[in-house]
Amino acid sequence: MMLRPAVTVLMLIWLIGGHWVSNAQAKADREKLLSEPGVYGTFAVFALNNEEWAKQDPATRIVRLTSLKGVVEQHREHVAIDLYLLRGLSDQGDLLFRIHAAELRETQEFLLDLKSSQFGKHLKTVGIMHGLTKQPNYVPGFPDQMKADLETISEPGQKPYAIVIPIRKSAEWWGLDQEKRAAMMQEHTAATLPYVKTVKRKLYHSSGLDDPDFITYFETSRLEDFHSLVLSLEKVQEFRYVRRFGHPIILGTVKSLDEIVELLAQ
């Protein structure tokens, strides 16, 4: 019942802020961006200037959040945008945007418009990381059973938690021949199999695009499983070649644009 006024606010924003897109086409594009190789994934963390935001009266906040909604809706035709609430779980910032695009220029255009929007002037850019989705490197050489296990469909239902872990490998790792690396990645992958159902994973390759070599992204409803998964990964041989793991680990909850708007309207 505490949510009632906010819901009203939300409906107002919905009425004021509509930049409508062809939902069917946008959905199809989004599916492609989220599943295909050769797509750029950007993780952008923002902090909300809390003191300034708290000073705004409710009407001003609604106007500003409407600008957020507008910018996101407008760009959703070209890029896939996911939102996460970091506040209360991460000291890195308040909001995380995950953006998938065929070209980083499109991501830049979205973030420029976001920053120039009425809402954007309350945001401080805390961190931006980029990666690229690619065909799996080592999986083709894995045993058939392992390949089948990796294709296990994760349990249906919402996975409210998302975790982002940047990883950098040592020069020694890259100096190993492909065969040795493949053997270690097979051991690494075996360690992840017990968690295929409850922890969704997605890998982005970052070398050159950013300081990490990889950005690993996870979704789960069972954080304890996720903890056990990471613990298993720390115990395999490949982990000795990891020079940076997290630092920071970014933990948040998956939210829809409307949920974020509602939360910030309060």
Q: Which residue has the tokens 């020694």?
A: 172
d(CA 99, CA 114): 13
| 171 near a second copy (CB under 8 A) | yes
Nearest to a second copy of 36, 143 (CB atom): 36
Count of C-beta atoms within a 10 Å radius of residue 125 = 14
> At its nearest, how many Å lie between a second copy and the CB of residue 44?
8
* DSSP 8-class letter at 215: E
When binding is defined by CB under 8 A, the residue of 95, 163, 196, 260 that contacts a second copy is: 163
| 35 near a second copy (CB under 8 A) | no
* DSSP 8-class letter at 161: E
Residue tagged active-site, from 30, 87, 201, 222: 201
Beta bridge partners of 45: 96, 127
> At its nearest, how many Å lie between a second copy and the CB of residue 116?
6
Footprint on residues 173-202 left by a second copy (CB under 8 A): 174-175
Residues 6+ away with beta carbon under 8 Å from 258: 10, 14
Tokens found for residue 179: 């065969």
Number of residues located near a second copy, criterion CB under 8 A: 68
| Spacing of C-alpha 24 from chain mean position | 23
Nearest to a second copy of 110, 142 (CB atom): 110
> At its nearest, how many Å lie between a second copy and the CB of residue 147?
24
H runs (alpha helix) in the chain:
4-16, 23-35, 50-55, 58-75, 104-116, 144-150, 171-175, 178-192, 223-234, 257-265
Footprint on residues 50-89 left by a second copy (CB under 8 A): 50-52, 54, 85, 87-89
Nearest to a second copy of 147, 258 (CB atom): 258
Q: Is 196 in a helix, a strand, or coil? A: coil
Tokens found for residue 118: 């009425």
Tokens found for residue 30: 């989004």
CA-CA-CA-CA dihedral for 237, 238, 240, 243, to nearest 10: -170
> At its nearest, how many Å lie between a second copy and the CB of residue 75?
11
Site string for a second copy, 196-235 (x = CB under 8 A): ---------xxxxxxx-x---------xx-xx-xxx--xx
d(CA 266, CA 206): 37
When binding is defined by CB under 8 A, the residue of 31, 160, 180, 256 that contacts a second copy is: 160
> At its nearest, how many Å lie between a second copy and the CB of residue 146?
22
Active site residues: 201
Q: Which parts of this chain interact with a second copy (CB under 8 A)?
A: 38, 40, 49-52, 54, 85, 87-91, 104-105, 107-112, 115-116, 120-121, 125-128, 130, 132, 160-161, 163, 165, 171-172, 174-175, 205-211, 213, 223-224, 226-227, 229-231, 234-235, 237, 239-240, 242, 246-249, 251, 253, 263, 266
